[in-house]
Amino acid sequence: MMHCPQCGQQQVSEETKFCSRCGFQLGIVGELLHHGGTLPQLADIQRKKTFFNKKNGVVFSVIWFIFFTMFLTSIWGIVGIEELAGVCAVTGVFGALTILISSLVMLPSSKSYLVMPPPPLQRPQAQPAGLYGTPASPGLPPQRQEPAGVYHAPQGGWRAPDTGDLVERGSVIENTTKLLKRDEQ
């Protein structure tokens, strides 16, 4: 039987798509359990390399800078068109900066983060003895009952907050009714 990872509700079958108590989508959980903790769709996405990534953006901005400032500026200077040489120098510097900043901010990283299966669950080892030599148990303590008369209110300045939940409020017209009855007498 499968349990909801969000609220712990036991599900009727493993084919249920949503939790009946909290509405959590259980289809993905079932698929994760079926494939051993990994989703094959994510592995396929990770295998696909994209050309547009941060590393290629930085390389392209460096090539842009070198091409426009070193080559085109010098070629237009040799030919004798100084205005075009100046435009190429400015375009090379500011274009390279624009490409560099936009690629670092907007493009995905070139490192592939592989979807690794989670490590196998290990049962907790026996815990060492507690303060007084009793072994610490991972479960709940044994059930005990104490009569209500044994309870003592906490000492000090602590008071329970007055939320008014347990005190029934009086009627708005209660005092008015008493005044009317007093006037009639």
Condensed to tens digits (0 to 9), the pLDDT of residues 130-168 reads 555 555 556 777 787 888 788 777 677 777 666 666 666
More confident residue, 73 or 126: 73
The pLDDT assigned to 47 comes to 65
DSSP string, 53-71: SHHHHHHHHHHHHHIIIII
Token pair recorded at residue 163: 């939320």
Distance CA 153, CA 135 (A): 31
The pLDDT assigned to 132 comes to 58
Condensed to tens digits (0 to 9), the pLDDT of residues 78-100 reads 999 999 999 999 999 999 999 99
Domain boundaries, the chain: 1-48, 54-106
What mean pLDDT value characterizes the chain?
Answer: 76
pTM as predicted: 0.38
Band of pLDDT at residue 112, cut at 50, 70 and 90: low
Question: Counting beta carbons within 10 angstroms of the beta carbon of residue 26, is it exposed (0 to 12), middle (13 to 18) or buried (19 or more)?
Answer: buried
